[in-house]
């Protein structure tokens, strides 16, 4: 496999999943896109978007920027799941590769921490289009995340 | 300057601006974000978004994915402006760097072709937050674009 | 795992491993770095470099550019392994992330095709520093590769 | 121009150019490639490589990894020129785009700080192949750099 996923990632808080789910609801962009959070575990999250007509490009596929935004959020929350309670996560940069057209009944977006750090975490994201029983990889992302003091910490 | 912009880019069609403006209107994601096209010239486009509450992340800044989507569109249309009439443009990949928080009264997004090609064009994008008279760089993007046969060509 | 590796990648030629090993020997940069090719299978290659003092940066670690060059070559040959006999592979672009300092007795570099294509292939690379029995991830790369007609084809 | 270069970048030290030139000499990879430092000013550096047969890929062009390593070094030193005396610079990640084949009598590599930061600086690099009087853009790079405490500070 291209990138080995670290085993035994240990969160610094016990309530990270609740805090992440609450934080996610404050991102109006995710609501606008119709994206919901499915899973949060230490170092990993999974989001879902049902097909909808607010997020398309000129050919009727999902706009690449929406796909990227979803993977970026998934990766940011994956990094946040391992951070201390008084930290927040800012995306420094990401690269996204568009592997296949994004056309499906629904979409899943996963974010995974590859290397957690005190000040920078490396993450990888994947996007899948799902039609019936088929789950097809449509895009990948890798992002470096800055772990910084939360403004209200 | 980091990347010299090529001079004398020559479009292959005379009606590229009209075709691009029509194509832009079919991207529902751009409408959802409230993004409009300001300028189209050969090898360069400029988009605008007024501040709105549909595109935010948890701190009230514009979501990075929206910023990236806008620059991606600006770059894609910049590439399309130089393509033959029977071609369309697909983003292969892009990298986006988040230089500063995106908070402004309005935003501008520019896309520029750095190296046009028959099958691949290299482009660069910039995003600015504008407050009063100040125009602040908030993000940069660089994207490689595939120039392919349009489905209905 | 972040990126699922496609199963059942089918090469278009039977002699790809021999051609790749011969081609690899013509890259003087690889010889200069002391890099050798270990494995070539369909869609995947593995290179090796023993520690040497020609490839270092100011702190005595292997220079990031050398690490990246090795992963780029591994990925390029992974893409070439699936191409037709009259094709060659050119790197369009790559992103490399430096996960940990590269200091080891020897190094391994893997390249994997994530999505083969007729004109563009997507690949991912990994770099490991090896000390005794420990194999530590030090960098990742992802590259898009253009599949083009070979000049002498 | 795609990315506006900040004006009035102010170095925190007066001897940065001397320290950078001394540091550069300790990178054996640069010596191996035959790369020398031409200019160092606040936020910008320029390197040079004469054509040589130690750095080639299979077609006789300069290996992309060498091009990238040179731009990475140029950008790292550009960031270091603005850092405090007790800091050093580590590359977090970079993306490199290969615009044109690198074939020339000599090559120049420039690094420019786009946004200096206390902990992270954003930089952009360019590579040129020079033949007679022609200076042709062959690659671009953008890198995020971590500004960290020097081990011996």
In contact, B44 and B110? CB cutoff 8 Å? yes
Residue D5 lies in a domain: no
Q: Which residues contact A2 (CB under 8 A, 6 or more apart)?
A: C2, C3, C5, C110, C112, C114, C124, C125, C126, C140
- pLDDT at residue D130 tops 60: yes
Q: Which of D97, D112, D125 lies at the smallest CB-CB distance from B122?
A: D97
Q: Which of C27, C54, C72 lies at the smallest CB-CB distance from D32?
A: C54
- pLDDT at residue C139 tops 90: yes
Cα separation of the two ends of chain B: 39
Residue C7 lies in a domain: no
CB-CB neighbors (< 8 A) of B74 in chain A: none
Q: Write the CATH number for A34.
A: 3.10.129.10
In contact, D110 and D126? CB cutoff 8 Å? yes
pLDDT, residue C147, reads 97
- Tell me if chain B has a CB within 8 Å of the CB of C5: no
pLDDT, residue B24, reads 94
In contact, B120 and C92? CB cutoff 8 Å? yes
Question: C 70-109 residues with CB below 8 A of A?
Answer: 95, 97, 99-100
CB-CB neighbors (< 8 A) of B92 in chain A: 97-98
pLDDT, residue D7, reads 86
In the three-class reduction of DSSP (H, G, I as helix; E, B as strand; rest coil), residue A112 is classed as strand
Worst-scoring range by mean pLDDT, A12-26, C56-70, D88-102?
Answer: C56-70
Show the CA angle centred on residue A121, arms to residues A115 and A123, nearest 5°. 70
pLDDT, residue C152, reads 67
Distance of alpha carbon A40 from alpha carbon A111, whole angstroms = 10
CB-CB neighbors (< 8 A) of C145 in chain D: none
pLDDT category of residue B57 using cuts at 50, 70 and 90: confident
Is D95–A95 a contact, with Cβ atoms under 8 angstroms apart?
Answer: yes
Q: Which residues contact C18 (CB under 8 A, 6 or more apart)?
A: none
Distance of alpha carbon A74 from alpha carbon A76, whole angstroms = 6
pLDDT category of residue C9 using cuts at 50, 70 and 90: very high
Residue D99 lies in a domain: yes
In the three-class reduction of DSSP (H, G, I as helix; E, B as strand; rest coil), residue C122 is classed as strand
Residue C41 lies in a domain: yes
- pLDDT at residue C1 tops 80: no
Is A144–D92 a contact, with Cβ atoms under 8 angstroms apart?
Answer: yes
Residue A139 lies in a domain: yes
Inter-axis angle of helices D64-80 and D16-24, nearest 10: 150
- Tell me if chain B has a CB within 8 Å of the CB of A152: no
pLDDT, residue D153, reads 54
How close does chain B come to D61, measured CA to CA in Å? 19
Is D137–B115 a contact, with Cβ atoms under 8 angstroms apart?
Answer: yes
| Average pLDDT over every residue of A21-29 | 92
pTM assigned to the model: 0.95
Q: Which of B99, B114, B126 lies at the smallest CB-CB distance from D122?
A: B99
- Tell me if chain A has a CB within 8 Å of the CB of C121: no
> Nearest-CA neighbor of D94 among C71, A45, C89?
C71
pLDDT, residue B146, reads 97
Selected residue with higher pLDDT from A151 and B31: B31
Is D112–B2 a contact, with Cβ atoms under 8 angstroms apart?
Answer: yes
- pLDDT at residue A76 tops 80: yes
State pLDDT tens for residues B129-150: 999 989 999 999 999 999 999 9
- pLDDT at residue C44 tops 90: yes
Backbone angles phi, psi at A125, to 5 degrees: -125, 155
Q: Which chains are adjacent to chain C, needing at least 3 Cβ pairs under 8 Å? A: A, B, D
> Nearest-CA neighbor of A119 among A76, A150, A90, A148?
A148
Is A63–B151 a contact, with Cβ atoms under 8 angstroms apart?
Answer: no
Distance of alpha carbon B130 from alpha carbon C46, whole angstroms = 49
User: Which site among D3, D89, D92 would you substitute to test the A interface, given the most A Cβ atoms closer than 10 Å to its Cβ?
Assistant: D92
Distance of alpha carbon A65 from alpha carbon B57, whole angstroms = 15
Distance of alpha carbon A99 from alpha carbon A78, whole angstroms = 22
Please report, for residues A25, B10, B88, C125, D128, the alpha-carbon distance to residue B148 in angstroms, rounded to integers and kept in the order given: 39, 19, 5, 27, 28
Calculate what percentage of chain B has a pLDDT beyond 90: 82
Is C120–B92 a contact, with Cβ atoms under 8 angstroms apart?
Answer: yes
The boundaries of the domain holding residue D67 are 16-149
Distance of alpha carbon B39 from alpha carbon D110, whole angstroms = 31
Domain count, chain D: 1
Calculate what percentage of chain D has a pLDDT beyond 90: 82
Backbone angles phi, psi at D140, to 5 degrees: -130, 155
- Residue D129 structure tokens: 């192949």
Q: Which of B92, B95, B119 lies at the smallest CB-CB distance from C95?
A: B95
Residue B63 lies in a domain: yes
- pLDDT at residue B153 tops 60: no
pLDDT, residue B147, reads 97
| Average pLDDT over every residue of C55-75 | 92
Distance of alpha carbon A21 from alpha carbon B3, whole angstroms = 41
CB-CB neighbors (< 8 A) of D95 in chain A: 95
How close does chain C come to D14, measured CA to CA in Å? 21
Smallest CA–CA distance from C7 into chain A, residue: A1
Inter-axis angle of helices B64-80 and A64-80, nearest 10: 150
Residue C9 lies in a domain: no
How close does chain D come to B142, measured CA to CA in Å? 9
Residue C29 lies in a domain: yes
């Amino acid at each position: 496999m291209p990138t080995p996923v670290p085993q035994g990632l240990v969160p610094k808080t016990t309530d990270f999943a609740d805090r992440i789910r609450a934080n996610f609801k404050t991102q109006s962009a995710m609501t606008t896109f119709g994206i919901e959070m499915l899973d949060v575990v230490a170092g990993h999250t999974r989001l879902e978007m049902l097909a909808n007509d607010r997020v398309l490009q000129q050919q009727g596929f999902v706009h690449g920027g929406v796909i990227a935004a979803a993977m970026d959020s998934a990766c940011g929350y994956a990094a946040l799941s391992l951070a201390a309670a008084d930290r927040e996560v800012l995306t420094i940069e990401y690269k996204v590769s568009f592997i296949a057209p994004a056309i499906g009944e629904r979409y899943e977006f996963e974010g995974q921490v590859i290397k957690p750090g005190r000040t920078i975490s490396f993450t990888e994201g994947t996007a899948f289009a799902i039609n019936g029983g088929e789950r097809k990889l449509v895009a990948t992302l890798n992002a470096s995340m800055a772990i910084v003091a939360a403004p209200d910490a």
